[in-house]
Amino acid sequence: MPTRDSIRDIWGDRSPYAGPGRWPEREDVHTSEPPERWVQSCCVLCSNGCALDIGVTGGRIVGVRGRVDDHVNRGRHGPKGLNGWVANNAPDRLTRPLVRRGGRLVEASWDEAMGLGSV
């Protein structure tokens, strides 16, 4: 469960920067289940690069949490950072390349797709 519904409450409570060392921490978390372990990383969905830990269970992403000790975001995440990982477990997510043959998209190997070049 997320620490807030970032669809309704996009940015969460205001906690303005108040000078060096005086920006309050706020650990934003969104998990679908308790992770077996946390892996240090960062959000790459924009150029901010907010620090986060990725929760992993059985080799799958099961959530994220903000890193409160990082000076970029002090644990905060917007809706993309908090929810973007959910798509990784979507049952209809593409996991193999599709190439167009005869007007239809069909599965191909990565080598085949990469070998096609640009159109």
Q: Which positions touch ligand SF4 (CB under 6 A)?
A: 43, 45-46, 48-50, 73, 77-78, 80-81
Residue among 35 and 77 whose Cβ is closer to ligand SF4? 77
Write out the two tokens for 7. 């669809």
Q: Cβ(31)–Cβ(1) under 8 Å?
A: yes
- Min separation Cβ 41 and ligand SF4, Å: 11
- Min separation Cβ 73 and ligand SF4, Å: 6
Backbone angles phi, psi at 81, to 5 degrees: -65, -35
Residue among 43 and 62 whose Cβ is closer to ligand SF4? 43
Strand stretches in the chain, DSSP E:
29-31, 37-42, 51-57, 60-66, 98-101, 104-107
The CB-nearest residue to ligand SF4 is: 81
Residue among 2 and 81 whose Cβ is closer to ligand SF4? 81
Helical H segments across the chain, by residue range? 79-83, 110-115
